[in-house]
Chain A
Amino acid sequence: MAEVKTLTHEEDILIEETGYDDHFHDHHHGDKYQSGFISNYIFSMDHKMIARQFLITGIFWAFIGAAMSIIFRLQLGFPESDFQWLKPILGKWIVVENGVGTLAPEFYYALVTMHGTILVFFVLTAGLSGTFSNLLIPLQLGARDMASPFLNMLSYWFFFLAGVVMFYSLFISTGPFSGGWTAYPPLSALPQASTGSGTGMTLWIVSLVLFVVSVLLGGINYVTTVLNLRTKGMTLWRMPLTIWAFFVTAILGILSFPVLASGFFMLTFDRALGTSFFLSEIFIEGQALERIGGSPVLYQHLFWFLGHPEVYIIILPAMGLVSEVLSVHARKPIFGYKAMVLSILAIGFLSFIVWAHHMFMSGVNPFISNFFVVFTLIIAVPSAVKVFNWITTIYGGNLRLNTPMLFAIGFVSMFISGGLTGIFLGNSAIDIQLHDTYFVVAHFHIVMGIAAFFGMFAGIYHWYPRMFGRFMNETLGKIHFWGTLVGAYAIFWPMHYIGMAGVPRRYYSFDTFDAFKHFGEMNQFITVAAIIVFALQVLFIVNFFYSIFKGKVQTTRNPWGATTLEWSSPIGGVHGNWEGKIPTVHRWAYDYNKDDREFVPQYIPMEEGEVAGEDVHV
């Protein structure tokens, strides 16, 4: 019972001619599948809606996580000031003495811990790869939806639940977990070890186990969809780099998150059932515990076996988005497509054999450290290949310097600055001085935190019309970009210096350390910069939500003149992504400025005698 539709859009007509019929709309009569508010907006199984759910939840958490960092930055920048004005929000965690309100030290640690956990897992994992894998995998591959829309929906709701549990833990009387985002034992293994180690830690584990389930459900779906549901003609070597990045990201998640889960199970046994996997010879308040025989370093191995791939789970999607945005707005094919794919694969592989570079100072055997030093430094090679190719892609291009493009270029800048400091840290000898100092904080915030955010912003500004049928405001976007670029460097550059001087991270106050006292002014400067950057992100959030309702309306399907399939589907999106047939693919994703044609979408058949772009550009 296929409905007879008169097709008016150029894209639809072309797809009707060259696409193929999977009888999709025969099975679905009208919009029965998508009726009602609840199935449409809440328990939706449509990948485009799930993508928006991930994004908006991610923005919520980004706001909370960033606000926390402002509070602990206030303590670091202005340790002597009166913070009574924060009492309405923080309640008993502001301790008033002699009329001066100070942040309770336990809560400072809790804030640092929550900031890390939230940003790494909820924002840069779920909010980034959750959003864009969902949005782009089916659309760019020419699939009707994910392999299992149901599991896909579950993936979001497990993430949501993880968030509810974590959010709840912020309000309990002993406060949330406070032992750092890496949750090292013994602080995480003994409920009596610190205030946050009790209920706070229990909730932290519960939340993260739910989160692992979410990542696995999502990842299994992404991998299956990429390998099984590509449209005709979409060979692996014609997939856009975004898809390659999401694909490898999902594989990393599937292989590394279960290892974290195992670590959590052992931790739970230690906490609740009295085992001593990670505990040995501990004294609490002068009392020796009976728990002997375990090893806290074992936990570190399990954690970082996830932890290092995790940082690539965060950065690879950003790299994919940036590659795409750079190519579209430079109006040039991506430089070295195959090299890009191979370096994604190489990074993915290497990320599994470098984890101990986080443990050079944990007492691991120095000979074993050497092995990890070598592999860590080798990661710089595929990373450098990517950087080189991005720069070459924009070199000599006809650049459109709009907001997505600016953020994509900003990403490259951040990735270079932060990647370089990684090479210092990767040398175990230099790491003796730098480990656990602000140098490390600067390294990973620039290379992961800011860079991944830039990739995400590039993605949001670029695909905003695909998600909401409108554009975000350009002027606000440019203010957002320039302010954040300058501000982020202002925050993190000085931290390298502080770190080289040996100032340790995660300290509440430096009053008692003569060597570190004189960085007070620099800390003030950093805090002020952080506040300004935070304000700019609020501006972004305002722009984001305002534009959903009032942004400039998208009038053509393919506003950027891009080649990938998502821009051939109707504005606003339909269930099943294409009205009639599914487009088939005839060329790679980067036919820009080819034989006098400005761009050639992937669903346009090859002309007689035309040489395939992928043969010309590799």
Chain B
Amino acid sequence: MADIALNNTNQSTRRIHPQVFALWVSFGSILMMFIALTSAYIVKQAAGNWLEFLIPVEFYFSTGIILLSSLTLHVSYSSFKNGNEAPYKLLLILSLILGSIFLVMQFRGWFTLFEGGIDLKGNPSGSFFYLITILHAAHIVGGIGAMIVAVLHAFTLKFKPTERRRIRFSLVLQYWHFVDILWIFLFAFLLFI
């Protein structure tokens, strides 16, 4: 595929890589989607008939795990940039595993919630909780897909920290940081509001 963006280098207006920029723009878009849901949540809550419940402990664990995975992925990325092959590969795999554990934790959290009597169909407060966390999980799935591609690259291509590969990796990294921070925000929101 012809990469037009890469060809238009050294133009006066270029400061950051267009693909990175495009990713940031799409963050704005994803953010708006969740802001819509949290706003709807606040409006609905204010209207009354709102059931309060405790958030299962699994979600606290998953929060810790995703924070950790962001850290490991970041170190993996720095290692890649500095040409340290072993930590790069190892931490990349670790991040992938942590990301998957996050999903499993969310899953178990939903079950605990369900067994505690908060089901999807009941009071809107529960419905919102499921909807928001499920939609976030869908974005995690996307991030895991991207990490899988990164792992495949890491183990099938010869180790060579070229600019092109660095950009690609940094796209994965930034997306992962984004869904991480997004989760922290959502978790805090669901916890305190």
Contacts and interface: CB of A to CB of B under 8 A. Distances in A.
Contacts of A216: 26, 29
B120 to A, nearest CB: 6
Interface string A300-330: 0110010000000000000000000000000
A273 to B, nearest CB: 6
Nearest to A23: B7
A17 interface: no
A265 B7 contact: no
Given A220-B26, A265-B131, A277-B124, A24 B36 contact: no
A254 B1 CA distance: 26
A402 interface: no
B10 interface: yes
Interface in A410-435: none
Interface string A3-29: 000000000000000000011100110
Given A33-B2, A148-B5, A302-B40, A273 B121 contact: yes
A259 B33 contact: yes
Q: Would you call the interface of chain A mostly helix, strand, loop, or mixed?
A: helix
B11 interface: yes
A144 B7 contact: yes
Contacts of B128: 277
B11 A27 contact: no
Given A22-B8, A230-B13, A258 B30 contact: yes
A137 to B, nearest CB: 12
B32 interface: yes
B4 A277 contact: no
Interface string A70-92: 00000000000000000000000
A221 B8 contact: no
Contacts of B19: 147-148
A98 interface: no
Contacts of B44: 277, 294-295, 298
Contacts of A302: 36, 40
A256 interface: yes
A22 B1 contact: no
A298 B43 contact: yes
A120 interface: no
Contacts of B8: 22, 143-144, 228-229
B14 interface: yes
Given A223-B25, A269-B131, A256 B18 contact: no
A537 B30 CA distance: 39
Given A228-B13, A258-B30, A259-B33, A148 B22 contact: yes
Contacts of B14: 228-229
B9 interface: yes
B7 A276 contact: no
B162 interface: no
A170 interface: no
A27 B9 CA distance: 13
Contact of A227 (B21, B28, B30, B127): B21
B13 A269 contact: no
Given A28-B2, A216-B29, A22 B9 contact: yes
B71 interface: no
A230 B43 CA distance: 43
Interface string B17-54: 01101100110111011111100100110010100000
A274 interface: yes
Interface in B103-153: 120-121, 123-124, 127-128, 131, 135
Contacts of A148: 4-5, 18-19, 22
B82 interface: no
A305 B39 CA distance: 12
A224 B22 contact: yes
B156 interface: no
Contacts of B22: 147-148, 151, 220-221, 223-224
A593 interface: no
B36 A259 contact: yes
Interface centre among A27, A146, A229, A294 (most CB of B within 10 A): A229
A45 B2 contact: yes
Nearest to B16: A228
Contacts of A536: none
Nearest to B128: A277
A28 B44 CA distance: 56
Contacts of A228: 5, 8, 13-14, 16, 18, 21
B127 A277 contact: yes
A617 B183 CA distance: 50
Given A221-B22, A230-B11, A262 B120 contact: no
A229 B30 CA distance: 24
Contacts of B37: 262, 266
A187 interface: no
Given A224-B21, A262-B37, A146 B121 contact: no
Contact of B25 (A254, A259, A265, A277): A254
B142 to A, nearest CB: 13
A199 interface: no
Contacts of B1: 45, 149-150
A24 B7 contact: yes
Contacts of A232: 11-12
A144 B4 contact: yes
Contacts of B49: 293
B4 A147 contact: yes
A234 B127 contact: no
Contacts of A229: 4-5, 8, 11, 13-14, 18
Nearest to A253: B29
Contacts of B40: 262, 266, 277, 298, 301-302
A305 B127 contact: no
A273 B126 CA distance: 13
B11 A220 contact: no
B29 A276 contact: no
A305 B21 CA distance: 26
Contacts of B28: 254-255
Interface in A239-277: 254-259, 261-263, 265-266, 269, 273-277
A232 B34 CA distance: 38
Contacts of A234: 13
A145 B4 contact: yes
A233 interface: yes
A265 to B, nearest CB: 7
Nearest to A34: B2
Nearest to B10: A22
B47 A276 contact: no
B7 A27 contact: yes
A231 interface: yes
A276 to B, nearest CB: 6
A29 to B, nearest CB: 11
Given A45-B2, A266-B37, A298-B43, 5 more contacts: A151-B22, A219-B29, A265-B135, A277-B131, A298-B40
7 contacts: A22-B10, A145-B2, A229-B13, A254-B25, A265-B131, A277-B131, A305-B36
- Per CB-CB distance, the 6 closest pairs between chain A and chain B, nearest first, are A258-B33, A262-B36, A259-B36, A274-B121, A275-B127, A258-B32
Interface of B: 1-2, 4-5, 7-14, 16, 18-19, 21-22, 25-26, 28-30, 32-37, 40, 43-44, 47, 49, 120-121, 123-124, 127-128, 131, 135
